[in-house]
Structure 1
């Protein structure tokens, strides 16, 4: 940073590494260069300090297109002073006492470069439409401004070198910009809506697929359940048929056993009856040849076997005489026969 120390009748100057100082004393260059340090008398000396580092100049201006639309151009110019002595002689970079108005050298450079940029940009934009200016204006303006500024004789004679030009934006008016953005916004909104609809359709399709799968699973389960019920019914019918056949066989076997038992029992009864009849017949044959007294005795014996036990039996003469009379009375009759 440049510093000046003031003493009576003399001042001391100490320069900076980025400032090129030119010391004129009565119109003659006494000192010049970067980082100078010297004494000088302020009454007959003039000091000018020109920056030698790169300078950035932002600029903004308006232009009209071929279809009469206003656009704003924002650019940035990088330059430097390659001939500080010429610059100090043509522009105001003088070091002034404290309280005085600052040097206007940078403002003069900004005015010169800004006017040159605006002039060349207006000439180019006037031959293009708004659509072309918005689509290709930035690159075209960068090329045109760089070439035109580097070839400008005034800048060269002043000792100013243009390092580069950057065009940052070419914008229309706000209402025109909104109008131009509307179709794109609507298209983007339509794309967003279409994406939403497709996502919803895909979700519906997936839900339908899931429902169809669930329905197919239910149908498959119902079919298998029906097959299971049919198989269970068939098994039940087969079991009942087998049980009925077994019961029928058991019944037939039982009936056959009962029939055989009945036949055997009937045969036994018949045999017993026949044996009893034969015995009775034989007995009757035996009885047929016996006399009455013997038969009576046998009858009494049979009757006595059938009677209950008698503890005491009293036979009176009347009873005995009557029985004997009856017995002997019937015997002759039988003998006569």
Structure 2
């Protein structure tokens, strides 16, 4: 707002840069511009202050859709005064020369004008559209219709107003209508949630079944591996037993062969020794055969005497019968020796 200072017979006016000032003196425009400061006489002066900064106007209105349902639209539009002198001609922006306040409420009038225009174009759309479509597409459609209508409105251009933007914040039905519309959607959402829960449970059951089946397959595989391991161990044990038996057989055969060879060697050695003894005995007998009986008897006596050296004989009884048999045997042997023909 402007600042007015009072002095005797005169006053000083100073405005902000965002305000366009129209200074009239005695019915004539003396000054027009933004952020003016000047002295004036209150009895012959009139001042209008038009704000030229951007302004935002909220709107809230009700309408009835094509299917007779009440709908509430809420939004805001941004506007700016481009031609302050034209707006001042359409709306009274005169200020009190003592306090600097508006004598009337020009900004409220502008806001009401813009809100009525926006509401009229929004009603045209809502009245011809079912409530479900309004709720689904209403925000964008209402914004586009209001913005297009206000930008092309000749009355606003003549007044020097420019609408910069329009925003529709919400489009809502009555609470009962909203609950009725939401009920099928809520039921569908709940049904989808139940189906998702059922699917999640089914998936969990399927995963549990797959886990149990996997565990069962693992147990079966482990049992098969154990069976193969037991069979392999049995086969290994049988092979070890066979190898041990074969080794024992080979060892026994080798031992038998060694024994046989040793026995043959010992037999050959024994035969050789015995043969030598027999040959020696035969040679001795042949020598004895070539000797006279007296010599043989003497040798026998010598042999007996040699043995008697090692044997202690305390008593020797020679009976006549023993002596007679000895003599008879000796005579018989001598006689046979003598009767044998001599070789020429």
- Residue by residue over 1:275-333, the C-alpha shift from the partner in whole angstroms, topping out at 9 and shown as x without a partner, is 586478669868993499959955762553342399xxxxxxxx9xx98x979x969x9
| Cα distance in 2, alignment partners of residues 48 and 336 from structure 1 | 201
Aligned match of 2:258: 254
- Residue by residue over 1:148-192, the C-alpha shift from the partner in whole angstroms, topping out at 9 and shown as x without a partner, is 334545534543233332333323345616547525744774686
Aligned match of 1:316: none
Matches within 5 A, 1:1-337: 2-96=2-96, 97-98=98-99, 103-152=104-153, 154-173=155-174, 176=178, 178-179=182-183, 182=186, 185-186=189-190, 189=193, 193=197, 218=222, 225=229, 229=233, 232-233=236-237, 236-237=240-241, 239-264=243-268, 266-268=270-272, 270-271=274-275, 274=278, 278=282, 289-290=293-294, 297-298=301-302, 301-302=305-306, 304-308=308-312
| CA apart distance, 1:11 | 0.8
Unaligned regions of 5+ residues in structure 2, if any? 333-344
Distance 1:56 1:4, change over 3 A: same
Instruction: Determine if contact 2:76/2:167 at 8 Å carries over to the other structure.
Output: yes
Unaligned regions of 5+ residues in structure 1, if any? 311-318
Counting matched residue pairs gives 325
| Cα distance in 1, alignment partners of residues 41 and 202 from structure 2 | 85
Which TM-score applies when normalising by structure 1?
0.72
| Cα distance in 1, alignment partners of residues 85 and 75 from structure 2 | 28
| Cα distance in 1, alignment partners of residues 309 and 286 from structure 2 | 21
Instruction: Determine if contact 1:59/1:114 at 8 Å carries over to the other structure.
Output: yes
| Cα distance in 2, alignment partners of residues 198 and 69 from structure 1 | 43
| CA apart distance, 1:105 | 1.2
Which TM-score applies when normalising by structure 2?
0.71
| CA apart distance, 1:91 | 2.6
| Cα distance in 2, alignment partners of residues 295 and 34 from structure 1 | 184
| Cα distance in 1, alignment partners of residues 298 and 89 from structure 2 | 201
Distance 1:293 1:278, change over 3 A: closer
User: Matched residue of 1:252: which SS?
Assistant: helix
| CA apart distance, 1:240 | 1.9
Instruction: Determine if contact 2:288/2:296 at 8 Å carries over to the other structure.
Output: no
User: Matched residue of 1:98: which SS?
Assistant: coil
Distance 1:98 1:180, change over 3 A: farther
Distance 1:153 1:293, change over 3 A: closer
**What's the Cα RMSD here?**
4.8
| Cα distance in 2, alignment partners of residues 164 and 83 from structure 1 | 18
Instruction: Determine if contact 1:47/1:94 at 8 Å carries over to the other structure.
Output: yes
Aligned match of 1:313: none
